[in-house]
Every structure is written in C-alpha cells, then in structure tokens.
Amino acid sequence: MLAFTSESTAQNEAVKSPEVMPVLNSCAGIEDRTERETCSNQSIMEHVMNKLIYPEDAKAAGIEGTVFVRFIVDKTGQVAEAKVVKGPEELSKSAVRVVSELPGFTPGLQDGKPVNVEFVLPIRFALSE
C-alpha cells in the first residue's frame, strides 16, 4: 500500500494530498481517476516484485524485514530523493535501487499546476521456507 506525506506546499516541497495524484505514464490514459490510481499502484507493486533483488549476503545471514523507502515524484514525473526511513540496513540498498528505477510518472497536480508528491513505499523481504 502506498502512502504519501508532507508538511509544506512551498515551491520545492512535496504536498500531502494533491488534487490529482501522480500516476505511472502507462496508466495515465485511463479516464476514471480511481481506476487510474489503482492501475498505477498495482504497476508499482509489479515493478517491485519483478525487479527486486534479495542481497545474497542478507540471504546467507537469514535477514528478513520491511524496508520503508521515502521518495518524491517530482514536478516532471521523475522519482527523486529515494531514501530509507526504516528497515534493515543490509536490505536498504536493494530497496532504494528498485524504487529509483520506477518508470516515469505523470506528475501530481495542485491548482492545475504540477507539484512534488512524497510517497513512502514499504518493501517486504522474506526468505522462502
């Protein structure tokens, strides 16, 4: 589940809840807003599941956990400032990499203008039994 947060609407700050949320470009053509946002969220999860690499050293050490990655979809629709806010250090680099490689977005809008929108994405690393 995606979450978004922020405290300010200053020029370069992220907004908490824009009038129109950013969506992946592949979903931008869907007319219905709810369907468009659902498509985007599902596509983000698919990207993470397909591209996430479990670090070999973490596997060998039996390290599991959830890494929370904060990132901004900026005014141009690019992912920026991806960083870990919580989670096992051994898994952090892989989580940031997969978020940084998300494809382009159609930016969020506030008052008809593109704005930065902050997301927090939890990524679960679990070893198979």
Q: What is the pLDDT of residues 102-118, one digit of tens each?
A: 999 999 999 999 999 99
Q: Are 85 and 92 in contact (CB under 8 A)?
A: no
Name 18's Cβ contacts closer than 8 Å, sequence gap at least 6: 108, 109, 110, 115, 117
Q: What is the pLDDT of residues 55-103, one digit of tens each?
A: 999 999 999 999 999 999 999 999 999 999 999 999 999 999 999 999 9
pLDDT higher than threshold 90 for residue 30:
yes
DSSP at 50: H
Structural domains for the chain: 3-125 (3.30.1150)
Pick the closest to residue 24 from 83, 84, 101, 95 (CA basis). Answer: 101
- Alpha helices, H only, the chain: 33-51, 56-60, 89-100
